[in-house]
Amino acid sequence: DESEPESRAGDVRTGRRQPGTLKGLFTKDLKEIMFGLGDEAPAPDTVGLMEDILIEYLHETIVAAGQGGGKTIQIDDVRRVLQGPGDERKLARLEELLLLQIEIKKARAINGLEAGGRHLGE
């Protein structure tokens, strides 16, 4: 297929990667998660399917968050997307991670370790 190399490269004009270019990025983590949930030897095809589902979900969530009207996706855009039915736990986890990030940032500032970079939620 002639379109395959182009889709793997992503959209050259916007610098955005296509969802297919993420294949393999989550494999190791998914195997470890599946092992932690009781699957002693996750089958490669099962891990692949889980990764496909994850990539599709992330893509749909990011696209929906990007429809907030701004040039970049902000935390409030992600919150808006996760306020839908069935996403209560995901929204609660997002809030928990944002609070944890603030605590880590404060701890680094106390220890003089803050590099001054831009972080999620700022």
Q: List all residues 6 or more positions away from 66 whose beta carbon is below 8 Å from its beta carbon.
A: 73, 77
pLDDT tens per residue, range 29-50:
999 999 999 999 999 999 999 9
Confidence of residue 19 (pLDDT cuts 50, 70, 90): low
Q: Grade residue 17 by pLDDT with cuts at 50, 70 and 90.
A: low
* pLDDT at position 8 over 50: no
Number of Cβ within a 10 Å radius of residue 38: 6
Write the CA distances from 49 to 24, 26, 110, integer angstroms.
Answer: 11, 11, 44
pTM assigned to the model: 0.66
Mean pLDDT within 99-121: 77
CA dist 66 and 69 (Å) reads: 7
CATH T-level assignment (fold) for domain 24-70: Histone, subunit A (1.10.20)
Structure tokens at 103: 């605590």
- Neighbouring residues of 97: CB distance < 8 A, sequence distance ≥ 6: 120
Residue extents of the structural domains in the chain: 24-70, 74-112
